[in-house]
A and B are shown apart, each in its own frame.
Chain A
Amino acid sequence: MKFTMTGSQWVGLGVLLSLLIFAVLGMMFSPFSISQQDLNAVLDSPSAVHWLGTDHFGRSMLTRMAHAVGLSFALGVLCVVTSSLLGTALGVWAVWGGKKVDHILGVMVNILLALPGLVVVLLFAAIVPGSFWILYLAISLVQWVEYFRVVRAITQNVIHSPARQSSQMMGFGHWYQFKRHIWPAIVPSVFTLAAFGGANAILTMASLGFVYVGIQPPLAELGLMTVELFPFYSDAPWLLAQPLVVIALMVFGFHLLAGKRV
């Protein structure tokens, strides 16, 4: 399968990779920790010691931003991998497994679609407050439905195609048929969904942090940092700008990477 990317998709990939490199380098080489306070140096502007300045507790912004970006990427990637695998597998199974399987999965999907995604995630976040894993679970649970619906629709066409049917009559196994007939048909859509899914996962975590029910302090999280730094907007606007710009960049990067628009 040939995979070509357009110019704007390369730009998106570039933006995301540079943010990732920033996060990894920042986490590895920063001499400070995310909770190390220095009350003699609060709200400092960027300097040689603190490259991105310090926040209201004198904590190094560079370290905190690197950790926050790393956390967002970790969640985004985990959610995308889980939900795309689950959604694709169940989507193919719904078509292949006969009417009963399709019906049961359909009911499950309708239950999940009955509530807006953010409300589901909020309810889960209420069960275990401040947990990264429950956010991951809830977001993946909301997101696999998208893959399922798209994969199921495409697979339905492929399953009835003469090519796939003769392949089956020639005695090829399920895995070969999936690899040869179904996978090439669904991969562009799954890729697009995955890019948007990554953006949405990061957005959801930031949104929860922003309404204070997501990741809890002293951990660094982009939405949470926005709220924490908001009171100091006039003293230190560059601090508030950092999480805002980075969230927008991450989402923009994923949107560019998706290529197609939804």
Chain B
Amino acid sequence: MKAMLLKRVLQLVTVVWGVGTLTFILMRSLPGDMAYRIAASRYGQDNVNSEAAALVRQELNLDQGAFAAYWHWLLDLLQFNLGHSLVSGLPVIDAIQHMLGHSLLLALAGLLVSILIAVPVGLFCAWRGNPLDSIFMGLSSMIRAMPVFVLGVLFILLFALHWNWFPVAGFGTPAHLVLPALTLALSLAAVSNRVVRDSAKHTFQAAFYQFSKVKGLSAWQTFRRHGVRNIAVPVVAFFGIQLVSMIEGIVMIESLFSWPGIGHGLAHAIFARDIPVIQGAALVMGVLFVALNTLVDMLCLWIDPRGVREA
């Protein structure tokens, strides 16, 4: 437990350092004079003159050497001083807070629905076997071949534009959440239902499982006492692996559905070259990634106290 937590703390440090350094390089490698570029994105292309550029240069302290600037950059980061957006001028931290709530809502809803799909389908496939098993596995292979944005586009075309059941994009009402969450959930469930199925099949065929049936427990009792925990360990461990695809899925889905979360913010900031926001968004994603991984590790340990597996 202690070793696991220590490893995660180290990971957290590397995330902060990695994102900080990358965005610093990014800041330095902007083509052209930085002050002019920032002035242009602030005041518009037509209103840039050397006066405005000088003002920006002074305000953002752009004249210091590379090494000193890097040092300042990291110090600021350590104090969670993420600076102000180059475009809107608002503090990055406020924007991030706003976006994080939306992203977490989407992630949670997507995860919940994916569990609601993957677990019953997986168990059912393992329990009943062919031909349903093959049908569901073929179906999930097909969904897996579709990138998450293709899935999302199809949903928009069908449910939003063709049948008009749900709004195309935006946020605010529960109806807005349905399509993004469903897209995320299906893309996750198409992979995880296999893991549930394999794990369940493995457990159903195990000697201890057969024995508990032979000794007279009913199917439900056997499942509850001997099945659930054993099936759950690989499944929960797999959710840890799937976190990568979840975060990547969030980036795509938020951009597609104009969901005002971190991924949408990151894509927009990259497009506008708004570096403090890029840094903030990437940082929050990295921290979220580490935090969720830790949570999964702890959950695995709780289900199977015999020890952590190398996942």
Instruction: Give the B-binding residues of A (Cβ under 8 A).
Output: 110-111, 114-119, 122-129, 203, 206-207, 210-213, 223, 226, 230, 233-234, 240, 244, 247-249, 251-252, 255, 261
Contacts and interface: CB of A to CB of B under 8 A. Distances in A.
A126 B153 contact: no
B301 interface: no
B270 A251 contact: no
B26 interface: yes
Contacts of B5: none
A213 B23 contact: no
B147 A207 contact: yes
Contacts of B12: 114
Nearest to B290: A114
Say whether chain B's binding surface is mostly helix, strand, loop, or mixed. Answer: helix
B122 interface: no
Contact of B252 (A117, A211, A255, A261): A211
A255 B18 contact: no
Interface residues of B, number: 45
Given A122-B251, A252-B145, A110 B285 contact: no
Nearest to B243: A116
Contact of B147 (A203, A233, A261): A203
Given A123-B26, A127-B25, A255-B144, A233 B252 contact: no
B161 interface: yes
A127 B26 contact: yes
B247 interface: yes
Contacts of A248: 145-147, 150
B15 interface: yes
Contacts of A122: 251, 266-267, 270, 282
Contact of A125 (B14, B23, B270): B270
Contacts of B182: none
Contacts of A230: 153
Contacts of A116: 243-244, 247-248, 285-286, 289
A207 B145 contact: no
A95 B156 CA distance: 50
A123 B275 CA distance: 10
Given A123-B23, A126-B273, A212 B244 contact: no
Contact of A119 (B11, B146, B266): B266
B91 to A, nearest CB: 21
Residue of B19, B144, B145 ringed by the most chain A CB atoms within 10 A: B145
A255 B289 contact: no
Which 9 A-B residue pairings sit nearest by Cβ, starting from the closest? A252-B145, A118-B248, A211-B267, A126-B270, A116-B247, A211-B255, A114-B15, A251-B145, A114-B14
Contacts of B221: none
Contacts of B22: 123-124
Contact of B153 (A125, A234, A244): A244
Interface of B: 10-12, 14-15, 18-19, 22-23, 25-26, 29, 141-142, 144-150, 153-154, 157, 161, 194, 243-244, 247-248, 251-252, 255-256, 266-267, 270-271, 273, 278, 282, 285-286, 289-290
Given A119-B282, A123-B19, A110 B150 contact: no
A203 B154 CA distance: 17
Given A126-B278, A211-B267, A247-B147, A115 B153 contact: no
A125 B153 CA distance: 24
30 contacts: A111-B18, A114-B11, A114-B12, A114-B289, A115-B282, A116-B243, A119-B248, A119-B282, A119-B285, A122-B266, A122-B267, A123-B22, A123-B23, A126-B270, A127-B25, A127-B29, A129-B273, A206-B147, A207-B148, A207-B149, A207-B248, A207-B252, A210-B256, A211-B251, A213-B271, A233-B161, A244-B150, A244-B154, A249-B145, A252-B142
A41 B259 CA distance: 36
A213 to B, nearest CB: 5
A234 B157 CA distance: 9
A110 B18 CA distance: 11
Contact of A210 (B29, B161, B194, B252): B252
Contacts of B157: 233
Nearest to B266: A122
Contacts of A129: 270, 273
A118 B271 contact: no
Contacts of A128: 29
